[in-house]
C-alpha cells in the first residue's frame, strides 16, 4: 500500500501564492531591515538587497501604494487605520469595554482602546513608547503618558488596586524573568506620578481582555474617540505633526524611500 506524500500546508500555500503575486508585479518592492531582522542578520554579508517583486531589471522601485495592501483613503482617519492596516483589535475593544463598564472617565477608556496600537499596527518591542509617540499629537497629555507608562507598569503588581503580576507572563517569560534595567528605572520615576492611576487602569483592564468569544464593536466608542482624539483635517500622516511620518509609514510600509 502506498501512501501519498502530504500536500502543502495552508501556510505554505499562502506563501506560494504571495511569491507568485510578487513575481507578477511590474514593480520592485523594498523590505526595510526591520521587516526581516531576526529571520536573517542584515549585518552579515550577502544581505545587501531586500528587493522583491518583478524579475524585470528595468522595473521601477515602488514609491506609491503597495498593490498587496488595501488602499487607504486620501485623508485617513484613526478608524481607517484600524480597518485597512491594523491586525485583529478585539483585545483593545474588550479592554476599552471593561473600562467603560467600570465607569471610568473617557480619557481612561480611550487609553485602554489605544494602549496596544503599536502592537497591532507597528512594532512590539517597547510598544508603549512607540504607541504613545504615534498618538501624542492627537490626544491629551495624560492619555499619551498612560499608554507609555503601561509598558512598564504591567510588570509590577499593585495589590492595593487589584493588579497582580499576570500568570500569562510567567508562561511567556519564565518564573525568573526580571525586566531590563531601563524598565526598572522608569518604574521608579513613574510610580508616584500624578497620572499613575490612569496608567495602572490600563493594566487592570488589559490582562483580562482576551475572551475570543466576546463581541465588542468600534461603534460603541465612536463618540468617545470623536471627543478625545483630535483627528486632523488633512488626514493622519499629512498634517505635519511630529508623528505624521509614522502614520505615512503605515500607509506606505514598503516604499523604497
The pLDDT value recorded for residue 49 is 58
pTM for the whole structure: 0.84
The three-state secondary structure class of 51 is: strand
**What is the structure's pLDDT at 253?**
92
**Digit-coded pLDDT (tens) for 210-226:** 677 778 899 999 999 99
Pick from 237, 229, 249, 157: nearest CA to 200: 157
Question: Any idea which residue has 531586500 for its cell?
Answer: 50
In this prediction, residue 41 carries a pLDDT of 78
Decide: helix, strand or coil at residue 147: helix
Write out the chain's pLDDT in tens, 257 residues. 555 556 677 666 665 655 555 455 577 777 777 777 777 777 777 665 565 655 566 677 888 898 889 999 999 999 999 999 998 888 999 999 999 999 999 999 999 999 999 999 989 999 999 999 999 999 999 999 999 999 999 999 999 999 999 998 999 999 999 999 999 999 999 999 999 999 999 999 987 666 777 788 999 999 999 999 999 999 999 999 999 999 999 999 988 88
By three-state DSSP, how is residue 30 classified?
strand
Note the pLDDT of residue 85: 94
| Backbone phi, psi, residue 61, to 5° | -75, 140
The full DSSP string for 74-128 is: SS--HHHHHHHT----HHHHHHHHHHHHTT--HHHHHHHHHTTHHHHHT-STTHH
The pLDDT value given to residue 53 = 59
What pLDDT does 102 receive? 94
What is the spatial distance between Cα 138 and Cα 229, in angstroms, rounded to a whole number?
Answer: 5
C-alpha grid cell for residue 79?
A: 478608524
Render pLDDT for 18-44 as a digit per residue (tens, 0 to 9). 555 545 557 777 777 777 777 777 777
Neighbours of 80 (CB within 10 A): 17
Amino acid at each position: 500500500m502506498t501512501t501519498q506524500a502530504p500536500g502543502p500546508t495552508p501556510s505554505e500555500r499562502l506563501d506560494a501564492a504571495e511569491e507568485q503575486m510578487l513575481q507578477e508585479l511590474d514593480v520592485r518592492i523594498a523590505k526595510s531591515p526591520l521587516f526581516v531582522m531576526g529571520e536573517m542578520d542584515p549585518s552579515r554579508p550577502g544581505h545587501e538587497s531586500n528587493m522583491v517583486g518583478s524579475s524585470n531589471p528595468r522595473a521601477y522601485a515602488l514609491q506609491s501604494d503597495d498593490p498587496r495592501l488595501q488602499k487607504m483613503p486620501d485623508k485617513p482617519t484613526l478608524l481607517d487605520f484600524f480597518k485597512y492596516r491594523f491586525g485583529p483589535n478585539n483585545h483593545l475593544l474588550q479592554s476599552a469595554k471593561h473600562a467603560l463598564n467600570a465607569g471610568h472617565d473617557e480619557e481612561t477608556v480611550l487609553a485602554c482602546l489605544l494602549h496596544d496600537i503599536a502592537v497591532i499596527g507597528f512594532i512590539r518591542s517597547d510598544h508603549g513608547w512607540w504607541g504613545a509617540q504615534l498618538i501624542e499629537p492627537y490626544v491629551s497629555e495624560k492619555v499619551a503618558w498612560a499608554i507609555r507608562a503601561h509598558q512598564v507598569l504591567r510588570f509590577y503588581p499593585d495589590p492595593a488596586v487589584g493588579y497582580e503580576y499576570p500568570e500569562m507572563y510567567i508562561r511567556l517569560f519564565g518564573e525568573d524573568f526580571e525586566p531590563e534595567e531601563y524598565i526598572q528605572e522608569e518604574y521608579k520615576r513613574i510610580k508616584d506620578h500624578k497620572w499613575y492611576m490612569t496608567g495602572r487602569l490600563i493594566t487592570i483592564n488589559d490582562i483580562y481582555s482576551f475572551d475570543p468569544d466576546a463581541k465588542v464593536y468600534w461603534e460603541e466608542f465612536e463618540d468617545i474617540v470623536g471627543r478625545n482624539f483630535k483627528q486632523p483635517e488633512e488626514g493622519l500622516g499629512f498634517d505635519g505633526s511630529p508623528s505624521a511620518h509614522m502614520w505615512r509609514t503605515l500607509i506606505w510600509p514598503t516604499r523604497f524611500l
